[in-house]
Amino acid sequence: MSTAIPGIATPGKVIAVHLNYPSRAAQRGRTPTQPSYFLKPSSSLAASGSTLERPAGTELLAFEGEIALVIGEPARRVSPDEGWRHVAAVTAANDFGLYDLRAADKGSNVRSKGGDGFTPLGPRLIDAASVDPARLRVRTWVDGELVQHDTSDALLFPFGRLVADLSQLMTLERGDVILTGTPAGSSVVAPGAVVEVEVDAPDAAGAPSSGRLVTTITDGTAPFGDFGSRPEVDDRQRIEAWGDAEAAGLATTSTDAAETAFELTDELRALLSSVGTATLSVQLRKRGYTDVFLEGVHANRPGARVVGRARTLRFIPFRPDLFARRGGGYNAQKVAFDTVGPGDVLVIDARGERGTGTVGDVLALRAQVRGAAGIVTDGGTRDFDVVAAMDIPTFSQGPHPSVLGRRHVPWEVDVAISCGGAAVEPGDVIVGDGDGVIVIPPALAWEVAREAAVQEAEDEWVATQVAAGASVDGLFPMNAEWRARYEATLRPGQGPAAR
């Protein structure tokens, strides 16, 4: 591939980032606090229109559409704010990997990602000076179907930070390439598949594009010899290569047991109670969770807060025959309020229909007596003033005097539901305050709570500076100078890294 940079034919270094997109980190179940890297040989480079062999005897060749940075001016010990200025161009890349050889590499990715043709680049370069680094888009198609689509505005580690970090220990030279990570959607491709990747800047003048980087997968015929590690796979590798257990043809994953074992301890409950839902939403967004707020749901009593694990109740639309069968007697609604446990939050799926009550004074009192942490519904509340005055926190779309049978049939309990447009499973962590209600997957609860506490401590310090007359320019968010001043105020062992 020609880089279109005079005097540079082949990059001296190709450096790849392990995880950088929140959507991919969420898929992997881990979010790094700092970037980590691996090297790919220049012999792995290929041009658009090339073919790539899936080696004989292997099954897990996976694509990863990425944004590639091409270094212009050499970079050595530059700051994150200066890093982008050392990027001459961006283009499309495909960081192919062979999961069958990951065990042999023991983390180095030398063979699993270093094969001939495993790093297609191009076909065209986009001038870095003409685009906003936070407004780039990467898309991948397999056989014409869009399978990856993400943007650079929410990266865990922005481009300038990557350049700065790498330049602390090595000189990034003219023509070097940095692969900046792949979003969710990476999966396995078989011989015959055509994979296309495009990077563009749709909001920039002229909407510059790399064009589509095209790679056709073929079937290798040369077997591996008996003088080195041979390909091997297991179910864990299959799940990671395909993206999830279902795509890999496996019914369950090892994470099921881990989620079952999760406990909302008093310590975690207190930590979540100390931070706002707005801050928690920022941390979840960084990890790819953007639809976790229960839209339209607000506290019935100003100042109310709730933290607990979800129990769920689902209503379906009213129909006379269905209500006759399921609406009377000891129905699902009564079961839910009669069995909610201490520390639980009863979350009700009313389909956003606020034109009738979904909880009233008697049922709210029953939940309070049973020790429930709260009640959340995306419908209405009957006996509103009485319910709002109770000790148990309640959240809804507001008051409505009508009874249940006007719009709803109580249908089932303890199933996955939609509440306020957000998916809620039994056992999810529910947090609510004056801004609304948010749902947190249990596997992320500790991580998100800790990072939110760090963020709020920083935001509180920023607010004191603004109150003292400081401009928000460079302060919110903090640039390198302000961050250094902030960290200098922290006692040893009390800084963000320690938290």
What three-state secondary structure class fits 435? coil
Q: Is 177 annotated as a binding residue?
A: no
| First CA to last CA distance, the chain | 46
CB 219 within 8 A of CB 54: yes
Is 383 annotated to bind a ligand? Reply is yes
Whole-angstrom Cα distance, residue 218 to residue 456? 52
DSSP assignment of 202-219 equals: TTSTT--B---EEEEEEE
- For the chain, helix (H) and strand (E) counts, in that order, are 14, 27
* Cα-based distances in Å from 179 to 120, 130, 174, 277, 287: 11, 20, 15, 34, 20
Residue 285 is which amino acid? R
Which amino acid is residue 124, in one-letter code?
A: R
Alpha helices (H) in 349-403, listed in sequence order = 361-369, 384-389
Place of tokens 């290798």: 220
**Residue whose C-alpha is closest to residue 64's, from 176, 166, 173, 189:** 189
What residues are paired with 192 via a beta bridge? none
361 labeled binding residue: yes
- Euclidean distance between CA atoms 305 and 436, whole angstroms: 9
Please answer whether residues 193 and 53 qualify as being in contact, where contact means their C-beta atoms are separated by less than 8 angstroms. Answer: no
360 marked among binding-site residues = yes
Cβ-in-10-Å burial (0-12, 13-18, 19+) of 341 comes to middle
The encoded tokens of residue 351 equal 């389909």
The Cα 308–Cα 367 span in angstroms is 13
Measured distance CA(439)–CA(436) in Å, rounded: 10
Secondary structure (3-state) at 120: strand
Tell me whether residue 382 is annotated as binding. Answer: yes
| ∠ CA 209-215-219, rounded to 5° | 170
Amino acid, res. 332: A
Short-list 162, 166, 144, 130, CA closest to 66: 162
Cα separation, 74 vs 177, whole angstroms: 12
Residue 378 backbone phi and psi in degrees, to 5: -95, 20
Q: HSE, CB side, 13 Å, CA atoms: give it for residue 427.
A: 12
Q: Are 203 and 135 in contact (CB under 8 A)?
A: yes
Q: Is 362 annotated as a binding residue?
A: yes
Task: Tell me which residue has tokens 């706002």.
Answer: 276
97, two tokens: 């990997």
Annotated binding site for Mg(2+): 383
Annotated binding site: 360-363, 382-383
Annotated binding site for substrate: 360-363, 382
